[in-house]
Structure 1
């Protein structure tokens, strides 16, 4: 059984067995092809059954790339945050069925989430793929690619709005994708049933009391710190709020980087990098503005004097400089050498 390619002036015959099972030989005509086919004078009434050879498919895909703009990176953090409620409203609380799932084919240049074309894409993490099924009713294959800024670590960015507009039902692709769909659903049900979901320590699951116990700050104070230094914190593993949480948990509890990596479900090197990044951000935005000799009055400085300082220096501002030992070479002067040599350490030292 053979079928003809629907492409303009194309006389290629498509064998039935290749057209159904081997995607290298033919493609089903998709919704985005309708305007391009109609512009060529081709009727699109039976698009669901029409097929196209790989050469024509590539030709129409190039036309689409020329007609559609590249992805716009002008979305800011605030605009994403404003769309958070919109994402929650689209999430359906009832259990999804196969009839409810959508599917979006993608390529190395097309993002399957924002449906835009970009030069830099990455494969979707498995955890994010499961979140798409549960919360957004969208199934994507393992080879599907997306913009890297749609994720925070292995999770979906909660501030990124995902809609079903412009997507096709998964049922249209189920004859070719049924094995992969079933395997994904079985793996998801196994992880949920066996309780193997990874533990993640984050700010959105904490109340004011937990935040105070873990960081020494209440939720309002931590949000105030975040508003001042968030623009300088950069991490692909955690959100800026959780980066600040990690920093203060480390200072409050003095636990190791390995323990922090287990709490936040990260690699040890990522924890170290985030900690130093937050420290630099706080130094640039908080420390220089609120600490130092220029930000304390004389009365407050005198109040910091100890009883020992008041006895010897009375009511004067006192500055204590902590000295250190400086190692120097031996001297030819025997008397000077005896004064600066430590017999216990057997080294020549000079107390500055």
Structure 2
């Protein structure tokens, strides 16, 4: 996709990012991602973001990129590119920008709200958002009653 025929608007409409931002991402993950004879790191980044933004099938994205391989292998090659970028992001980007380890104590304290300062003072407070884990019906009637959510109309477990 690193093609002079594509305008800046094309990159934004397909991926949600400017060409310059995509190039920056490619440079960041390039040390942990192998170059392939079938695609560049830049094209892999474009494949990843097109899949994330449009949810086209891997086969459709392969056609868009004119992946040069037998028809039955196109989906696998594009899928491999997508998963390679996801793994590279997890290895390089996530530790730098997500999780507790990328913040110093002073940075965490500077992000506290008035509420957490009033109740917890200068202690660091984390507020977690819960998630639902959905389950099929259980044969155990007692367990089934406890796991059913009248609000969601489904059997689930709230871990928090």
Alignment of 1:41-190 (within 5 A): none
Instruction: State how far apart, in whole Å, the 2-side matches of 1:320 and 1:280 are.
Output: 25
Kindly indicate whether residue 23 of structure 2 is the aligned counterpart of residue 223 of structure 1: yes
Task: Work out which of the residue numbers 304, 312, 318 in structure 1 matches 2:127.
Answer: 318
Deviation, 1:289, is 1.4
Kindly indicate whether residue 89 of structure 2 is the aligned counterpart of residue 278 of structure 1: no
Deviation, 1:272, is 0.5
Task: Work out which of the residue numbers 58, 61, 65 in structure 2 matches 1:264.
Answer: 65
Pair 1:292–1:263, CA change in 2 (3 A): same
Unpaired runs of at least 5, structure 1: 1-201, 304-309, 331-336
Deviation, 1:246, is 1.1
Pair 1:323–1:314, CA change in 2 (3 A): farther
Instruction: State how far apart, in whole Å, the 2-side matches of 1:314 and 1:214 are.
Output: 46
Q: Deviations over 1:265-307 (max 9, x none)?
A: 231111111110111112112121111123354343649xxxx
Q: Deviations over 1:92-123 (max 9, x none)?
A: xxxxxxxxxxxxxxxxxxxxxxxxxxxxxxxx
Q: Name the structure 1 match of 2:43.
A: 242
Is the contact made by 2:133 and 2:156 (CA closer than 8 Å) also made in structure 1? no
Is the contact made by 2:47 and 2:82 (CA closer than 8 Å) also made in structure 1? yes
Q: Name the structure 2 match of 1:341.
A: 144
Q: Deviations over 1:224-255 (max 9, x none)?
A: 11111123133221122211111111112221
Deviation, 1:263, is 0.4
Unpaired runs of at least 5, structure 2: 68-73, 149-154
Q: Name the structure 2 match of 1:300.
A: 111
Is the contact made by 1:233 and 1:278 (CA closer than 8 Å) also made in structure 2? no
Is the contact made by 1:229 and 1:285 (CA closer than 8 Å) also made in structure 2? yes
Instruction: State how far apart, in whole Å, the 2-side matches of 1:204 and 1:275 are.
Output: 19
Provide the secondary structure at the position in 2 that maps to 1:204: coil
Instruction: State how far apart, in whole Å, the 2-side matches of 1:222 and 1:325 are.
Output: 36
Instruction: State how far apart, in whole Å, the 1-side matches of 2:47 and 2:156 are.
Output: 41
Q: Deviations over 1:318-350 (max 9, x none)?
A: 1123243678774xxxxxx54x2349x8xx987
Pair 1:301–1:217, CA change in 2 (3 A): farther
Bigger radius of gyration, 1 or 2?
Answer: 1
Instruction: State how far apart, in whole Å, the 1-side matches of 2:15 and 2:112 are.
Output: 28
Instruction: State how far apart, in whole Å, the 1-side matches of 2:87 and 2:119 are.
Output: 38
* TM-score normalised by L of structure 2: 0.65
How many residues are treated as equivalent by the alignment? 134
